[in-house]
Amino acid sequence: MRKLDKFTNTIDLLSTLSGKVSAFALIALIVIVNAGVIARRVIGTPIAWGFDVSYMLWGFLFIIASAWAMAKKEHVTLDVLTQRFSRRTNALLELVLYICVGLPVLLVLFVKGFGFAYTSFMLKEKVPSPPYLPIYPLKFSIPVGILLLILQTLANLIRTIEDLRPARSE
């Protein structure tokens, strides 16, 4: 196995792991939302921390699962355009978009997200409602999720370059 294959497969494994972690966050989210609905119906009042925890879990799930979605090719694409192009043209288009749009945007998001999370950590930021749960751990999921997405983008970029190379006779 070539080193690049090992690298891309390791990234795919990380992305799959992030998808599985997100699946557990989704289960927790479903339990908390249902518990809140039941509490409102049975005792007439919501769980004090239910809303805060549910939006934290939703944010975590959204950002952490993004690399897994990219690995599974579940992100939105313009199939109406790309189905008209050849495989090589699609690979060239992907290559240009990864290099000119994807990676630069993700790098800016990573830097800004890290600064955002770091500031929140330094302030020991909490949600504004009782019981004043800490929100900075959630904010650190932003640079972590973006880093996973950058890695998956690099893996896809490497595969796209490999697809564009002429086949070698062995």
Q: Which residues, in sequence order, are bridge partners of residue 134?
A: 126
Alpha carbons 115 and 9: distance in angstroms, whole number = 30
The reply to whether omega before 130 is within 30° of 0 (cis) is no
Q: How confident is the model at residue 168 (pLDDT cuts 50, 70, 90)?
A: low
Of the candidates 164, 158, 151, 165, the one whose C-alpha atom is nearest the C-alpha of residue 5 is 158
pLDDT per residue over 99-117, tens digit each? 999 999 999 999 999 999 9
Name the residue with higher pLDDT: 13 or 91. 13
For the record, the structure tokens of 94 come out as 């992907």
Beta bridge partners of 126: 134
pLDDT digits (tens, 9 = 90+) for 9-45: 999 999 999 999 999 999 999 999 999 999 989 998 8
Comparing CA positions, the residue from 99, 102, 86 lying closest to residue 163 is 86
| Average of per-residue pLDDT across 58-75 | 90
